[in-house]
Structures are given as C-alpha cells and as structure tokens.
Amino acid sequence: VQATLAYHFANPAEVLLLLEAAQTPNQIVRAEELVITPATSVTRFDDPASGERRLVFTAAGEVEINYSAKVEMRGMDHALAGLPASAVSALPAEALSYLLPSRYCPSDRLQAFVDGHFASGAGGDKVLAMIDWLRTNIAYRPGASDTQTTALDTFVDRAGVCRDFSHLAICFCRAAGIPARVVSAYAWRLDPPDMHAIVEVFLGGRWLLIDPTGRAPPEGLVRVAAGRDVGDVAFMTIFGETELRAQTFAVTELPS
Amino acid sequence: VQATLAYHFANPAEVLLLLEAAQTPNQIVRAEELVITPATSVTRFDDPASGERRLVFTAAGEVEINYSAKVEMRGMDHALAGLPASAVSALPAEALSYLLPSRYCPSDRLQAFVDGHFASGAGGDKVLAMIDWLRTNIAYRPGASDTQTTALDTFVDRAGVCRDFSHLAICFCRAAGIPARVVSAYAWRLDPPDMHAIVEVFLGGRWLLIDPTGRAPPEGLVRVAAGRDVGDVAFMTIFGETELRAQTFAVTELPS
Amino acid sequence: VQATLAYHFANPAEVLLLLEAAQTPNQIVRAEELVITPATSVTRFDDPASGERRLVFTAAGEVEINYSAKVEMRGMDHALAGLPASAVSALPAEALSYLLPSRYCPSDRLQAFVDGHFASGAGGDKVLAMIDWLRTNIAYRPGASDTQTTALDTFVDRAGVCRDFSHLAICFCRAAGIPARVVSAYAWRLDPPDMHAIVEVFLGGRWLLIDPTGRAPPEGLVRVAAGRDVGDVAFMTIFGETELRAQTFAVTELPS
Amino acid sequence: VQATLAYHFANPAEVLLLLEAAQTPNQIVRAEELVITPATSVTRFDDPASGERRLVFTAAGEVEINYSAKVEMRGMDHALAGLPASAVSALPAEALSYLLPSRYCPSDRLQAFVDGHFASGAGGDKVLAMIDWLRTNIAYRPGASDTQTTALDTFVDRAGVCRDFSHLAICFCRAAGIPARVVSAYAWRLDPPDMHAIVEVFLGGRWLLIDPTGRAPPEGLVRVAAGRDVGDVAFMTIFGETELRAQTFAVTELPS
C-alpha cells in the first residue's frame, strides 16, 4: 500500500494522522516507511488492543507525507449468510457504542423504516438483505455528497459514494440491534484508487468486514482504523486550516 | 439520590440501564440499592477506568426500577478562569474522540462561527465566554426540543433545555480544539427535579464539570456517565418499544 | 361547518385569518356568520378568482372567534384513474408555481426516488400509485410531527398526520411534473374533528381533490384555501405571540 | 444585457425559461433578441402585471440560447433609511405571501433570533441593521453552497454567495413582519459576471431593491423576475435531465 499527501498550511496547525495500516492478527505489517517532509517530531497514540496507529504533529508551510507498507493478509471470512446476531447482553463492552447513533449515522431516525422493510430474517441474512436494498436503491455517483452529508441525506437523495453507502448500512444495522462501525481501508483494485470506507458488523461473536458498494474485493482491503462513522477515521484531522495540493493512493498485490 | 422508573413493555425488549452513580475518587458511593421489579437477571458492563456502571436486562410487561444511593461528594474544582488548553499532542488518548463531531454535536458545522465569535482569549477564559454567550443568546424553555434536536437546531431556534445547552457548549469547545463531553448526573436543587445533562471540558490537564444552564449548583452534581452526547448516556436505551408510565428523580443533601 | 377559536394575546398582534369556506362553483355558501369577540375592525383580502377569503385584524387580550356556515356541496369528480397529465406548456399560468419546491415540500430532493419508484404509469394512475405507497409506508400517528416537520422528515421517519401525508404526496407529484398544492378544509366525519390538510392535483385539465390519508370522505370536504404547503394556508397566521386557549371544529350534514 | 446558454439534453425535456428582462415602468426594454437553436416553438407565460416573461419549450440534443437586450433604466430610489414598515392590514394582497416561509427561506425558524437581535429600530432602519449584520457575520465565499443550501445552513455555516445572502436577508425581514422576495437580475459590474440574486422589500408603500452582498451597484441591476426564493426564479427550470455545456452573462453600459 502506498499513499502520498501534500498540503499547504498558511498557519501552523496540529494534524492527527490516521493513515498507517493497522497491526492485527489477520494483517501483518511486514515493512513500512512513513516520511513527513519537512521532518517534524510526532506524538504517537498507538492502541495495542485494536492495532490502530494514530499520530499527531504540527504542520506548517508546504508539507508532504509519504507512507508505504508491505502488508501480509491472512484469509478472513466474509460470509454473512446464516450468522446469528447477539443479544445485547452477550456483546463485548466495546461493541455497545456501535449500537448508538453518531454524527453521520443517526440510526434512531431510521428505526421505523428498518422495522418495516427488514422485518423478516435475522443476523447475517438480514444484513445481506440490507446490502441488497442499498445496491438496488442507492446510485453510486461521485460528487453526490460532501463532508456534511449524513445517512439521512443519502436515504432521501438516493445517491452517494462509499462513505454514504457505509453510513446508511451502519444506520440500518444499528436500528436492527446489530453493532456496526465504519472502517477506513486501502482497497486493492478500487477504481479510481482512493481510501475506501467500508463497514464492520458484529455477528456470530466476531466483527466481519463488508463493502456495501461491492466495488473492491474484500480480500484486498487493508484496514487502517474503525470508528462510529467517517468523522472518527479521517486519515487527516486538521485543527486549523489547510489547502490540499495533491493526494494519491495505491495498492499493489505482491507475489506471496 | 433516588430514581423511580416505571415502563410498560408490550413485547420483551432488552434494556441498557445507565442510572447508577459512578464510582470515582471524587464521588464515593457509600450505600446503594437497585431493585428491578419483577426480578430479572442482569448482565453488567461496569468500567473500572471511569467508574461507570451499565447493565443490560430483558424487560417484559410492567417493569419498575428503583434506585437509591448515598454518595459522598469530595470537593471538586470548577473554576475555569485562567486554565490553559492542551495541545492535541499533549492530550490523553481517551480525550481525542471528544474533539470530534457526534450525533447531536456536529461541531464541524460551527467552526466558522466559533472562529469568528470566540477568537480572543484561550482555554478556560474562552469557555467562560462561550457559557456567557449561551446564557445570553439561548432561552431556557421546557418543551423547546425533542429527541431529534441537534445543537444546530438549538443554534438556529435560540431555545432549549439542559441537553441543548450542553450540546451547543460541546460544539463550541470542540470547534475551538478543547475536548468536551456530556455528563449525565443527578442534580441537587434542580427545579423541577430531573436527570441533568452537563458538560465536562479538558483544561489544565484534567476534566472539569460545568453546567451551561447554571441551574444546578456544581457541588451537588452526582455523576452517572460521560459520553460524546446524550445519545451515549441515556439512562435507558431500549432495543424495542416501550411506553412510559412514570419517572421521578430526587436528590437530598444528608448531614456530613 | 362550525369553528370556535379562543386565544390569549399578551401584546396586541395582527392576525391573518383564513377560516371561511371558499365561494366556488362547486361549493355555495348559503349562510354564514363570523363573530370576533371583542368586536374589532377587519381588513378583508378576498380573492374573487379562487373564492378564498382572508382577513386581517388586530388582536389583544382574550379573543374568541366563532365561525359557522351552511355550505351546499355540488358533486365533484374525484376519480383519478386514467386521467392524463398535462405538458408544462399546456398548463394554466397559475399552475406553474405548484411544480416548484416550497417550505415543507422540497420536491427537488425527492426527484431520484420518484424517478425510480414511480417510473411506470402516468397521470392519474401514477398519482394513485403514490397514494398507495403513502398508505403502505407511512403510519398515521398523531403527535409524530410538529410545525417544523418537512416532507423529508416524514419520508425518513415514516410517520405523520394529515399535513405530512399531504406534503409528501405533493413532493411526489411535483417531482413527477404534476402540479400539486395543499388545500385546507373542513372535513365531515374526520375523527377526531379538526381542520384537514388535503391535496389538489392538476390532471386532465382541472384540479382534483384527494385525501392522501383516506380518513375523510371526499364528498364532505369543505374547502377553505389552497397554497404551496400548509405554511400558506394556516387558518391563523399570527404576527406576534399568542397562547392557545381552545379550539374546536365541527362539520354536520344537513338534509338536502 | 447579454446571455448565452448551451446545454445537452440526452432525452427531450420541457424547459421553463425565465431569462428576459422584465418590462416595468422603471425598466424599458428598447430592443431585444432571443434565439433558441435549433429553432423550436415556444409557449409564452408573460405576466402584464409584473412585466415578467416566462416561456416553455421542449429541448432535445444540443441546445443553445442567446438573449440580448437594450434596456433603459429609470432612476429608482434605493434609500431605506427612515422608511416605515406597513401594518399587515395595509399591505397589497400580492405582498402577503412574501411574509410567509418558503423552500430556502424558512423564516419561522429564525423568529427568536430576529426578535432578539433586531429588536430596536423599525422599517428601513431595521433592514439596514440586518444588512449590516449579514456583511459582518457572513463571509462571501464562492462554492460555499449548493442547490440544497437553505438560509438556515447559511446562518449556521456563516458563508455563502449572493443567493445565500439574499435568502438570509429575506428570512430576517419576514420574521420582522416586512414582506421580502428574491429578484433575479442581470448585474452591471458584478465580478465575475453572473446572474445575480438580490432582494426586494416592501417599505413605505412600495417595493425597494437591495443587494445584501453589496457587490453590484444598484443602479445597474436589470430585473428579470421576483419570487419567494431562488427556486421560483431560476433562469432555467428543467423538467428532466440535462448537462451544462457553457453559460456566460454580460452587462454593458451604453451611452444615454
């Protein structure tokens, strides 16, 4: 995986960077390099439990960030069919907050719709029905949304990109009592190449990755971080103002 | 502190209860009793780090919940004046998410307003200016909001109750780079008696409680839980449908 | 038809009253009486073209308004099946604005949904499909909405009252290129008795009344006024503050 | 004044064109030419009362519209200071609807803000205070809004373009009981050249034009049409889909 970001900061600003591939049992980072130009000191906020790696630094003037990593992917199961949902009482504590509404996923508002449209089925089968609904009813259209667009807007406007498909899928799952969160990822064969927003649902006692848009092969998704919605997992959160110069993302398959 | 809740559940539903006084160094629970009628098994999700205590149970038919506790309050400092804000890089990891937007606190939308109106001052002084603005510009009016009301609605409509004052205060702080979260609490001398939503800000290296409405004395606030907004700290989150029968809250000062 | 309204005005305020039965070829007002207590001078804004009758007066203190009228209803056709829609170029000029979005009917936002869900059929048959969709997907629930609720909220929340059914029906029609407007009316056999919000669509060269909720018999609807949405046809628009004391509405069938 | 529009229509669609300079006592159209290529029949909806001229035609394939006109402008008074507002009862009937909320101007929501911030002064002086507030608190920023942006969004986000300044000014006026409407206009010396959205308020017994952005000299504003907000006066309303190829607007001063 490879990412290059270039920004201009007219005034110095702190930047929270969430760009590095997570270290998990299913995803082994074999080699990596993160270069921030000009060189600057960083403060790390790595989380051993999730394998997520955040860092904060102060940016000023022209700043370029280059990240590249070789990541070994272990086979993960993505099959939802037949998986049971858990009772709330049987969930791990960390899953509870993923049942609740968030900035872009006001799942409480879609309760009646979910009760009405996805009444039959349960667990993984219900989630598959939701994904099917999304692919039938929401058009994938670049430019259909911006940083203010919530899942309710997408539900009304019937068009969006990966963040919007994910937010609406998350609303549906939470309203059905299934914990769901967004995952930011590098995505192999995504066209055009970009950071991808996908979804993780808690079913059958574990978290499973799904891509509501169906645009990237699940085995090529290199996870960065999970959050309640994309507001939590932006690859850059800037406390101040900036101007984008350029950004590129690439994922290449290496021989195993 | 004392709370009585009575609900009717036409169909069995799981209930997440977040009603018990937190156990913290500043707030010692000396005695307490939680009685759910009819008796039912509960699953606890207590968090030693925060002292917060959640539990989940299945409710059916007529359900009554009685909670009472004797809580010893240690003196806490609530003075904001002169307290410095922390750089993002100097924050504890758990404070980072309280800089980001949430369901009822889309702080990103109010960035320009906060940059314009609260440009002068810093840290605690800036927060005091925000509280002052709220008390001048927002009318406290019971019934002005409902469960869908966000801080943006309150900013437009200029009226709200404790949840709305708190949500707008939180937006202002986050937009200014100051971590802020909502705290649910029992409130001594709040009139009429009710659960109270207040705010905690991270300044001078620690979390400080403030009541944006100014309606309850800070020394009489008995903390239950903290979250990104009230969606996270509802005293009951019901996964299904219910009908409220009655609820009462009371806080009495005992001789020390 | 009979209406009684009682309000308290702490400060004098101008009131626009739109309460009288319209005078139209299909609806002959045989006798009527409008009494405002205390007596006050009124300025009338009657519109001969539509038969609508507005008046403005200044209210202060305790004000009671009593209106009663005997209205002879001519048979009107309400059958939509098979009626053709008109090309825009063939519409009367006054119908054009009823193709455009309004306060509570932002029909532009529902364009994609309408294009997708109501692609087949045309004219009256398409409108019948829309009404059918509304009755299947939106629950009639008193208290589900307030004065800020737009058709988009209703589309998301899937519940509403007569104003909400009407607003969503109007959005659907406008997005399909069919002029649609709201009509305020006295409604025979509506339970509980209240002013009713219904819809008028332009099909087959004329305006036809429909009740998207199906709660009142169409032959017993006594028209007051038409507008782009309920914001235009409130029976009282108050330029200032007031407090409601009581209001009752009644419609009785007299022998012909 | 001169306008050139080029669009591509993959499928035939009816188009409502509202591009011609209005014919009013203060604005005499001395010569004009409207050419639609390829030639097509049009249906006119001219309104003698307002001097506004709409037309509808069916567009297919590549369509170009060229409009040019020589317009003689009579001096109009734009001075607001000291002008009295009218009681509602003293308004002309056509002004009443401009007191009510509309698609982009939900003036009801800003009632409390207007009551609080613009309590002093009246009539033209109050409107001047509103304009002053807008220029101080809202940044003019191209790209800050899109076709869904309402005055409430602008009030929250504190940035916009001419349509947004106008919508917020209109909300303020209506909430203060002053009829206000949007006017689309050709604007001399507007940089960059574009159709302009300005505001007309009813004060001192007549409609007065104001430009809330202050970006175009009022004596060089050539009026096209008035409406409740820009949804009513778009220069093209397309009942179907289209793709923009190019559009240019120009206003040149000729020797008198």
Distance from B58 to chain A by nearest Cα, in Å?
9
pLDDT digits (tens, 9 = 90+) for B216-249: 988 889 999 999 999 999 999 999 999 999 999 9
For residues B20-24, average pLDDT: 96
Q: Rounded mean pLDDT of chain C?
A: 95
What residues of chain D lie within 8 A of the CB of B156, using their CB?
A: 109-110, 113, 152, 155-156
* pLDDT given at position C77: 78
For residues D23-33, average pLDDT: 95
Residue D75: pLDDT above 80? no
Residue C256: pLDDT above 80? no
Substitution target in A157, A164, A172 with the highest count of C β-carbons within 10 Å is A157
* CA dihedral sign, ordered A232, A233, A238, A244: negative
Closest CA to D128 of D87, D92, D176, D187: D176
**Interchain CB distance below 8 Å, A103 and B99:** no
Of D116, D155, D159, the CB nearest to B156: D155
Q: How far is A139 from A10, CA to CA, in rounded Å?
A: 38
**Interchain CB distance below 8 Å, A232 and B100:** yes
Question: Residues C223, C195: contact at Cβ < 8 Å?
Answer: no
Question: Percentage of residues in chain D with pLDDT exceeding 70?
Answer: 100
For residues A51-66, average pLDDT: 97
Closest CA to D9 of D55, D48, D89, D65: D65
User: In chain D, which residue's Cα lies nearest the Cα of C150?
Assistant: D103
Q: How far is C189 from C199, CA to CA, in rounded Å?
A: 18
**Interchain CB distance below 8 Å, A137 and C155:** no
**Interchain CB distance below 8 Å, B100 and A103:** yes
* Structure token digits, residue C170: 């109007």
* pLDDT given at position D134: 98
Give the pairing type, strands C180-187 and B52-73. unpaired
Give Dmax (Cα) for chain B.
56
AA identity, residue B167: H
What residues of chain A lie within 8 A of the CB of B231, using their CB?
A: 100-102, 108
Q: In b/e form, how buried is each residue of C128-142, taking b as 16+ CB within 10 angstroms?
A: bbbbeebeeebebee
CB contacts < 8 A, A to B, total 74
Q: How far is C203 from C208, CA to CA, in rounded Å?
A: 7
Question: Residues A36, A63: contact at Cβ < 8 Å?
Answer: yes
Residue C38: pLDDT above 90? yes
Q: How far is CA C211 from the centre of its chain?
A: 10
**Interchain CB distance below 8 Å, D137 and B156:** no
Beta strand residue intervals within B122-252, DSSP E: 139-140, 159-160, 180-187, 195-203, 206-210, 221-227, 236-239, 243-250
Q: How far is D19 from D181, CA to CA, in rounded Å?
A: 18
What residues of chain D lie within 8 A of the CB of C96, using their CB?
A: 16, 45, 54
pTM attached to this predicted model: 0.95
What residues of chain C lie within 8 A of the CB of A175, using their CB?
A: none
Question: Residues B107, B119: contact at Cβ < 8 Å?
Answer: no
* pLDDT given at position B10: 95
Q: Which of A134-138, B233-237, D187-191 has the lowest mean pLDDT?
A: D187-191
CB contacts < 8 A, A to C, total 28
pLDDT digits (tens, 9 = 90+) for B165-215: 999 999 999 999 999 999 999 998 898 888 999 999 999 999 999 999 999
Of B14, B87, B148, the CB nearest to A89: B14
Q: Residue A162 in 3-state DSSP? A: helix
Of C14, C177, C228, the CB nearest to D87: C14
**Interchain CB distance below 8 Å, A93 and B45:** yes
Residue C219: pLDDT above 90? no
For residues C102-124, average pLDDT: 96
Q: Please report how many Cα atoms fall inside a 13 Å half-sphere around the Cα of residue C78, on the Cβ side.
A: 17
Q: How far is C227 from C182, CA to CA, in rounded Å?
A: 5
**Interchain CB distance below 8 Å, C14 and D147:** no
What residues of chain D lie within 8 A of the CB of C43, using their CB?
A: 89-90
Residue B158: pLDDT above 90? yes
Give Dmax (Cα) for chain C.
56
Q: In b/e form, how buried is each residue of A72-108, taking b as 16+ CB within 10 angstroms?
A: ebeebeeebeebebbebbebeeebbbbbbbbbbbbbb
Distance from B100 to chain A by nearest Cα, in Å?
7
What residues of chain D lie within 8 A of the CB of B109, using their CB?
A: 156-157
Q: How far is C68 from C70, CA to CA, in rounded Å?
A: 7
What residues of chain D lie within 8 A of the CB of B119, using their CB?
A: none
- Name residues whose C-beta falls within 8 Å of residue A45's C-beta, 6 or more positions apart in sequence: A53, A54, A55, A56, B93, B96
Of B110, B155, B158, the CB nearest to D116: B158
When computed from its CA atoms, the radius of gyration of chain C, rounded to whole angstroms, is 18
Distance from C245 to chain A by nearest Cα, in Å?
33
Substitution target in D40, D41, D96, D100 with the highest count of C β-carbons within 10 Å is D100
For residues C76-101, average pLDDT: 94
pLDDT digits (tens, 9 = 90+) for C169-206: 999 999 999 999 999 999 988 988 889 999 999 999 99
**Interchain CB distance below 8 Å, C54 and D239:** no
The secondary structure of A211-229 as a DSSP string is: -TT--S-GGGEEEEEEESS
Distance from D110 to chain B by nearest Cα, in Å?
6
Residues in chain D: 256
What residues of chain A lie within 8 A of the CB of C139, using their CB?
A: 112
Of C139, C152, C156, the CB nearest to A110: C156
What residues of chain A lie within 8 A of the CB of C158, using their CB?
A: 112-113, 116
Q: How far is B63 from B246, CA to CA, in rounded Å?
A: 11
pLDDT digits (tens, 9 = 90+) for A196-248: 999 999 999 999 999 999 999 888 899 999 999 999 999 999 999 999 999 99
Closest CA to D95 of D237, D250, D226: D226
Of D14, D93, D103, the CB nearest to C89: D14
For residues D33-46, average pLDDT: 96
Question: D-side interface with B, Cβ within 8 Å?
Answer: 109-110, 112-113, 116, 137, 139, 152, 155-159
Closest CA to D21 of D225, D243, D242: D225
* pLDDT given at position D156: 98
In the structure, what pLDDT confidence band is assigned to residue C78 with cuts at 50, 70 and 90?
A: confident
What residues of chain B lie within 8 A of the CB of D157, using their CB?
A: 109, 112
Q: How far is CA A95 from the centre of its chain?
A: 16
What residues of chain A lie within 8 A of the CB of C159, using their CB?
A: 112
**Interchain CB distance below 8 Å, B108 and A232:** no
* pLDDT given at position B59: 96
Substitution target in C43, C52, C89 with the highest count of D β-carbons within 10 Å is C89
* pLDDT given at position B179: 98
- Cis before residue A38, ω within 30 degrees of 0? yes
**Interchain CB distance below 8 Å, B239 and A99:** yes
Q: How far is B163 from B161, CA to CA, in rounded Å?
A: 6
Chains near C with 3+ CB pairs less than 8 A apart are: A, D
Distance from B83 to chain A by nearest Cα, in Å?
20
Question: D-side interface with C, Cβ within 8 Å?
Answer: 14, 16, 43, 45, 47, 54, 56-58, 87-90, 93, 96-97, 99-103, 105-106, 108-109, 147-148, 177, 228, 231-232, 237, 239
Please return the burial class of C233, using the count of CB atoms within 10 Å of its CB with bins 0-12, 13-18 and 19+: buried
**Interchain CB distance below 8 Å, A16 and B239:** no
Q: How far is D180 from D131, CA to CA, in rounded Å?
A: 13
Residue C5 has φ and ψ, to the nearest 5°, of: -130, 135
Question: Percentage of residues in chain A with pLDDT exceeding 90?
Answer: 91
Chains near B with 3+ CB pairs less than 8 A apart are: A, D
**Interchain CB distance below 8 Å, A106 and B106:** no
pLDDT digits (tens, 9 = 90+) for B36-90: 999 999 999 999 999 999 999 999 999 999 999 999 998 777 799 999 999 999 9
Angle between helices B123-137 and B162-175 (to 10 degrees): 140
Angle between helices A123-137 and A162-175 (to 10 degrees): 140
Q: What does the H/E/C string look like for D130-179?
A: HHHHHHHHCEECCCCCCCCCCHHHHHHHCEECHHHHHHHHHHHHHHCCCC
* pLDDT given at position B191: 86
pLDDT digits (tens, 9 = 90+) for B135-148: 999 999 999 999 99
Q: How far is CA A13 from the centre of its chain?
A: 25
Q: How far is A67 from A47, CA to CA, in rounded Å?
A: 19
**Interchain CB distance below 8 Å, B156 and D109:** yes
**Interchain CB distance below 8 Å, D14 and C87:** yes
Strand partners, A225: A184
* pLDDT given at position C218: 84
Closest CA to B169 of B145, B123, B201: B201
CB contacts < 8 A, C to D, total 74
Beta strand residue intervals within chain C, DSSP E: 2-17, 27-37, 42-47, 52-73, 139-140, 159-160, 180-187, 195-203, 206-210, 221-227, 236-239, 243-250
User: In chain C, which residue's Cα lies nearest the Cα of D148?
Assistant: C109
What residues of chain B lie within 8 A of the CB of D156, using their CB?
A: 109-110, 113, 152, 155-156
Residue B221 has φ and ψ, to the nearest 5°, of: -95, 115
* pLDDT given at position B143: 93
Cβ atoms < 10 Å from Cβ of B210? 25
Q: What does the H/E/C string look like for chain D?
A: CEEEEEEEEEEEEEEEECCCCCCECCEEEEEEEEEEECCCCEEEEEECCCCEEEEEEEEEEEEEEEEEEEEEECCCCCCCCCCCCCCHHHCCHHHHHHHCCECCECHHHHHHHHHHHCCCCCHHHHHHHHHHHHHHHCEECCCCCCCCCCHHHHHHHCEECHHHHHHHHHHHHHHCCCCEEEEEEEECCCCCCCEEEEEEEEECCEEEEECCCCCCCHHHEEEEEEECCHHHHCCEEEECCCEEEEEEEECCCCCC
Q: How far is B29 from B71, CA to CA, in rounded Å?
A: 4
What residues of chain C lie within 8 A of the CB of D101, using their CB?
A: 103, 231
C-alpha distances in Å from residue C106, one per residue of A242, C99, C169, C171, D119: 34, 11, 11, 7, 31
